[in-house]
Amino acid sequence: MSTTTEATMTPPTLSEPHPSLHIYNTLSKKKEPFQTVKKGKVGIYLCGPTVYDKAHIGHMVGPVIFDCMKRYLVYCGYDVSWVVNITDVDDKLINKANERGITMLDVAEENIQDYNDNLAALGVDTIDHFPRATDCMDEIIALIESLVEQGFAYASEGDVYFDVTKDANYGKLSNRSLDAMQGEGGGGASKKRGAADFALWKSAKEGEPSWESPWGAGRPGWHIECSAMSRKLLGETFDIHGGGLDLVFPHHENEIAQSECCHNAPMVTYWAHNGLLRRDAAAGKIGGKSERGEAEGVAGDSPEAQASGKMSRSKGAGGLADLIGNQGGERIRFFLLRTHYRSTVMFSEPAIEEAAVGLETFYRLFKRFNRISKGEFYALTAPTERGGGMLTDDSIPVLKAAGVCRQKFLQAMDDDFNTGGAIAELFELAKIANKYCDENDLEGAGNADVAALATLELVMTSIKELSNVLGLFLEAPKASGGDDLLDAVMPLVIELRTAARSAKDFATADAIRDQLTPLGVAIEDRGGQAEWSGGGEGTLEGVMQLLIELRQQARENKDFATSDKIRDGLAAAGVKLEDRAGGAEWSRS
């Protein structure tokens, strides 16, 4: 019988390491210099969703992170091929199809569309391949056949199992011994030689979708799908394999065993695992066990079980489309990138709203630049390569300071893609740009200084260059959340706030500001005037509710002038108010 050991495997000859880029490898438990299997090329595989239901924010953590990784690697000069698989055959898919009285394919197609729509909303648009398990059956069966022929797997009553005792390195990713591993339960347990053996092929049950194979009709196990799809698109050995921390065991451990035993070569150079989402420190991570954990035998006290209270459908995680509608895609992306990808992310809508306050720093700066330059920040042509930076003149203090920020940004990204550190440098660049505008009075008399304007444009172009590496500020946000009515009613809100401040009614003025902030709307006081920015899907409803509350408060205080002002202002904007027993309701007139 065949066995495999580290000593028998033939490692690939890697290219020269990048001069500064390092990546943390879960396998070695340390940061390593970045070297590629093929010079100048990078292959990335990220485990994608099992499409039996709508996506939630937990499904976006990996795609946002690896989209950012790819953008940076391309910026550094690499040709990157990124694969995200789709698991479209699974017990949960079959059960969902039976519940709804439709086919498994229909369930999959519906949820794949939802997944893709959410990716687009969060700016994840660099994925090169979306292989589906059902489209790769020939490759999956061929890989299983090879493992059986080499003695690493065995058939048993129509099923096929991987014999973990044949892999001397089994457990090397998760640092587990065979004695500490718990195998799959259920009806398959009696068919296996050992408790930790795992299924490569499962015999068909009556009425279930199935494919013909040398072992009879059936369908693949979860782990073999990824080994086959990654080999098909990236080769036997590739550069980066990603996924959530909860996938280290059993999924990625089993992928390694299958692929390396079959090919007698390392499967992946770097294993990169992102941290998961927690709702708050007391409640633990959002959701329960990994969606596969129980079926695949994750021990209840294992690190993966402790880490697998991740965002999951089984614990009532909500649909992502609704969250995007409330918060907007760029806010959610910014929120996810503020934290280093290996860290736990504390999730809540208020946390996203807090991140949105930071985004407004940039949106206000972009508007300021537009006023000063009479141009458009989003139309600036920024370098797309690492060596193309424009901050080369150290004799100009502001450019020297901005150049230091740019270098620190690159250092952060070189240090295991530290997006949190990189974003901190973007804030510093924004601070430098605003200070330069103030010191040179570029919104006043200094606007005639052509050299100063050119210098400001260089700083702003650098902000665009670096933010684009993170997939941020690629296009202007919809200032009104896609609804012209918001543009029409916000001047009324600003007028009410200004009147409250003039009357020294700071409680009302502060209440207006505090209710606008969670809606993603910021008010900036400039030269005796106030301007607003931000907003997104759901903002209009919140602003309308604020105006209704202000009108009700004015009526209770017998301030009929203010009450009438709100009614008349809304009417002018095309809004009809109707007073009912339960409170006022609004509609478009």
Interval 325-343: pLDDT, tens: 878 899 999 999 999 999 9
Rounded to whole angstroms, how far apart are CA atoms 310 and 291?
9
Which residue did the predictor score with more confidence, 282 or 311? 311
Residue 27 has which token pair? Answer: 């396998």
Q: How many CB atoms lie within 10 A of CB 545?
A: 15
Residue 79 has which token pair? Answer: 């040709």
| Residue 291, pLDDT score | 41
In the predicted model, what is the mean pLDDT of residues 276-297? 48
| Residue 183, pLDDT score | 55
Report which of 399, 465, 459 is spatially closest to residue 430, judged by C-alpha positions: 459
Residues 6+ apart with CB under 8 A from 327: 349, 352, 353, 356, 520, 536, 538
Per-residue pLDDT band at 322 (split at 50, 70, 90): confident
Q: Binding site residues, as ranges?
A: 47, 226, 251, 255
| Residue 482, pLDDT score | 42
Rounded to whole angstroms, how far apart are CA atoms 28 and 36?
17
Q: Binding site residues for Zn(2+), as ranges?
A: 47, 226, 251, 255
Interval 489-509: pLDDT, tens: 989 999 999 899 889 999 898
Element (H, E) at 525: strand 521-526
Per-residue pLDDT band at 308 (split at 50, 70, 90): very low
Rounded to whole angstroms, how far apart are CA atoms 472 and 466?
9
Q: CA–CA distance from 13 to each of 96, 122, 502 (Å)?
A: 46, 37, 73
Angle at alpha carbon of residue 320, lines to 315 and 321, rounded to 5° = 140
| Residue 585, pLDDT score | 80
pTM listed for this prediction: 0.83
Q: Which residues pair with 579 in a beta bridge?
A: 584
Domains along the chain with CATH numbers: 22-149+166-173+221-287 (3.40.50.620), 348-470 (1.20.120.640), 484-588 (no CATH)
On whether the CB atoms of residues 231 and 139 are closer than 8 A, the answer is yes
In the chain, pLDDT over 70 holds for what percent of residues?
88
Whether omega for the bond prior to residue 491 falls within 30 degrees of 0, making it cis, is: no
Which residue type sits at 390? M
| Residue 318, pLDDT score | 56
Residue recorded with tokens 């089993």 = 254
Tell whether the model's pLDDT for residue 377 goes beyond 80. yes
On whether the CB atoms of residues 122 and 63 are closer than 8 A, the answer is yes
Report which of 375, 524, 352 is spatially closest to residue 464, judged by C-alpha positions: 375
On whether the CB atoms of residues 310 and 246 are closer than 8 A, the answer is yes
